[in-house]
Structure 1
């Protein structure tokens, strides 16, 4: 269902303000990252570090004020919004909708980049919608009202909507937000197994360590560390970036680094 792409940013920056004598503020500052075909890349960092802003620059709701976003080596700024949407799909942090639409209708919206305005769904569109729902284990939800779903069910439907775009890159902003631990594990396992190139922002460092191939750590908009989780997640980095005391060990069952936070000394 997907053809994974290579995603890169080159010296990506995003700045607000600065007009009429104002100093402005840099939210993302000279960030270069690379995601190979089929990789799952995690963006981590404290609140306000620039993760969501960087993601919005990647999927096109914000225009970088410096640097470039590249897809398979091509500058995304040269592509139309519809063309970008054919190759990059997003699962937003807030999946709520005020419309009383069914899950099937919500998922079918993902076909919009491949259709003309008001063009009716075809038999192929319907096939792709049903295949995506089955892929994410939500085929039994097709006729349910989206607004009535649980958080985990809603996230599955939104991933299905992204899949019917047939993207090469899937961008997810805090996909485990407000989910209980079972759904957190299920959603991240699902995303990792899709075959797309994935870029996701996560707060939970232990989930990031287990499900991501590589991590990029942001602090105040700047990239401060990158690499495999075993190399990136250290007690020293957590103290520097998050201001916490923590022990990092290798879990004997998973082989992934595990972060144990320690209370402040009194």
Structure 2
């Protein structure tokens, strides 16, 4: 049975640590089945926000609601039935094979120490095939490359059958083909998607709405067309760009203008970034 997509509401979430405020009253919503991207420069609060959503960090103010229920009041297993996580990287598999790591995604739906049944085995096999990890299913997770690990982590999230899929840089370490395939897969799932992404062209192509973070606050929110402007990227990222419309997808396509040292000061010369990474 496929879980129904979750409605996410982040209300005035703050997070402080050692006297430093990393999130300043952030508001964010994701409607059921929507793919929402969180973008922004390094240190802007993207990963901190995501961790508050999936529960590894407890907000010091505000709250996170999953279908109207306060996430902080949910038990670990109940929360895991609703939210699956793909972190930037994972360790601590302690000699487990890829298949065993992926099968861990079924744990929230089973009793303690309950063995895998035929449906669990089928789901794991299908997820491994879907992300292109079937060929190394018997290898130790700890021995994998970064890209192989990332695909295994996505497979684990898939078999968890979540209503909300939270992904922190899901395309990290992946080559271009798997970047596109993983994001297309996430977009096609019935689950609500919350994705932290660095690549703005990928965010524009695969997200319904974007939240731009800067200094622990939301600098802008809206559709990719509304948010990804040359003025905003100059203000938030400190870069010059030219933004057009991709001829195939109809989504914004960003061309970065690198600074080249020249006589009399810096001169910007156009350099086309790979459209949508492929």
Deviation of residue 159 (structure 1)? 1.3
Deviation of residue 97 (structure 1)? 4.7
The superposition leaves residues 137-170 of structure 1 with CA deviations (integer Å, 9 ceiling, x where unpaired) of: 4344433333344444332221121122221000
TM-score w.r.t. length of structure 1: 0.91
Unaligned runs of 5+ in 2: 260-265, 268-278
Query: Counterpart in 2 of 1:14?
Result: 15
Q: Distance in 2 between matches of 1:198 and 1:41?
A: 6
Query: Counterpart in 1 of 2:220?
Result: 225
Let me know the Cα RMSD of the aligned residues: 1.7
Q: Contact between 1:2 and 1:163, CA under 8 Å: does it hold in 2?
A: no
Q: Distance in 2 between matches of 1:131 and 1:183?
A: 17
- The equivalences for 1:30-41 within 5 A come to 30-41=25-36
Query: Counterpart in 1 of 2:61?
Result: 66
Name which of 25, 40, 45 aligns with 2:40.
45
Partner secondary structure for residue 176 of structure 1: coil
1:182/1:132 CA distance change after superposition, 3 Å: closer
Q: Distance in 2 between matches of 1:135 and 1:246?
A: 36
Q: Distance in 1 between matches of 2:186 and 2:3?
A: 12
Partner secondary structure for residue 254 of structure 2: strand
TM-score w.r.t. length of structure 2: 0.88
The superposition leaves residues 45-81 of structure 1 with CA deviations (integer Å, 9 ceiling, x where unpaired) of: 0000000000000000000111111111111111111
Q: Distance in 1 between matches of 2:226 and 2:232?
A: 10
Unaligned runs of 5+ in 1: 18-23
The superposition leaves residues 162-217 of structure 1 with CA deviations (integer Å, 9 ceiling, x where unpaired) of: 12222100001011112222221122112112221110101111111111111000
Aligned residue pair count: 260
Name which of 181, 187, 190 aligns with 2:185.
190
Name which of 237, 250, 270 aligns with 1:242.
237
1:92 aligns with 2:70: no
